[in-house]
């Protein structure tokens, strides 16, 4: 009931290759589901007739399960961050936003797409731009925590003092890939 024979027959009949990513395959003997990237490639005689179908399938079960665990973990992080009354954010090392929680979006009065497009500098008080951006650049260079009091423009147009703090997040090679932080009004 997994329909692979029908797909192979279709490739043989039409001469059109078949490709699918992350195909779920149930192994009855093991009572297990595994995931494959599958390619069925027609082998064609010089007269144009398909004489065989080559099956190139790669077991990607471990990658799929690992990605799902990461997605689940990220989902829990976002749920926790969105429940926080603080402004929670993640900056890329170039200073652009990677993520902001709903509290931050509400505070600034914008959408996730808008903050991703314009970044955080337009919301800083003009007198605080150099201080705040230099502090985060220095933290990135030194791989050190970031802490700065500065003003952010609230959605009502008023600038409010916030205390922003962040720590570096490292990848598996030990490189800083982001800063995870929060700001308290």
pLDDT digits (tens, 9 = 90+) for 151-162: 999 999 999 999
Token digits for 91?
A: 């900056």
Question: For the segment 33-47, what is each residue's pLDDT rounded down to a tens digit?
Answer: 999 999 999 999 999
Alpha-carbon gap, residue 36 to 60, rounded angstroms: 5
The whole-number pLDDT of residue 161 equals 97
The whole-number pLDDT of residue 128 equals 95
Q: What is the mean pLDDT of residues 142-170?
A: 94
Residues with Cβ within 8 Å of residue 168, at least 6 apart in sequence: 139, 140, 143, 144, 145, 176, 178, 179
Alpha-carbon gap, residue 151 to 161, rounded angstroms: 4
Question: For the segment 57-81, what is each residue's pLDDT rounded down to a tens digit?
Answer: 999 999 999 899 988 888 888 888 8
Alpha-carbon gap, residue 112 to 167, rounded angstroms: 22
Select, from the ranges 19-23, 70-74, 94-98, 177-181, the one with the highest average predicted confidence (pLDDT). 19-23
The whole-number pLDDT of residue 1 equals 66
Q: Could you write out the DSSP letters of every residue in 123-172?
A: GB-GGGHHHHHHHHHHHHHHT--EEEEEEEE-TTS-EEEEEEEEEEEE-T
Q: What is the mean pLDDT of residues 12-26?
A: 95
The whole-number pLDDT of residue 75 equals 83
The whole-number pLDDT of residue 172 equals 82
Alpha-carbon gap, residue 117 to 108, rounded angstroms: 14
Tell which wins on pLDDT, 96 or 90: 90
Partners of 57 in beta bridges? 38
Q: What is the mean pLDDT of residues 131-135?
A: 89
The fraction of the chain above a pLDDT of 70, given in percent, is 99
Q: What is the 3-state secondary structure (H, E, C) of 4-72?
A: HHHHHHHHHHHCCCEEEEEEEEEECCCCEEEEEEEEEEEEECCCCCEEEEEEEEEECHHHHHHHHHHHH
């Amino acid at each position: 009931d997994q329909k692979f024979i029908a797909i192979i027959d279709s490739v043989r009949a039409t001469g059109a290759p078949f490709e699918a990513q992350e195909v779920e395959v149930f192994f009855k003997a093991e009572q297990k589901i595994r995931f494959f990237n599958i390619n069925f490639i027609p082998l064609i005689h010089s007269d144009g007739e398909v004489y065989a179908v080559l099956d190139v399938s790669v077991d990607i079960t471990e990658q799929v399960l690992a990605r799902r665990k990461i997605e689940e973990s990220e989902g829990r992080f976002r749920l926790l961050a969105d429940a926080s009354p603080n402004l929670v954010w993640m900056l890329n090392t170039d200073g652009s936003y990677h993520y902001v929680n709903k509290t931050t979006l509400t505070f600034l009065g914008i959408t996730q797409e808008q903050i991703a497009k314009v970044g955080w500098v337009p919301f800083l008080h003009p007198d605080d731009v150099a201080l705040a951006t230099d502090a985060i650049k220095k933290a990135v260079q030194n791989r050190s925590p970031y802490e700065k009091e500065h003003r952010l423009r609230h959605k009502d147009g008023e600038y409010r003092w916030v205390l922003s703090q962040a720590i570096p997040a490292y990848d598996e090679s030990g490189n800083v890939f982001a800063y995870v932080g929060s700001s308290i009004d």
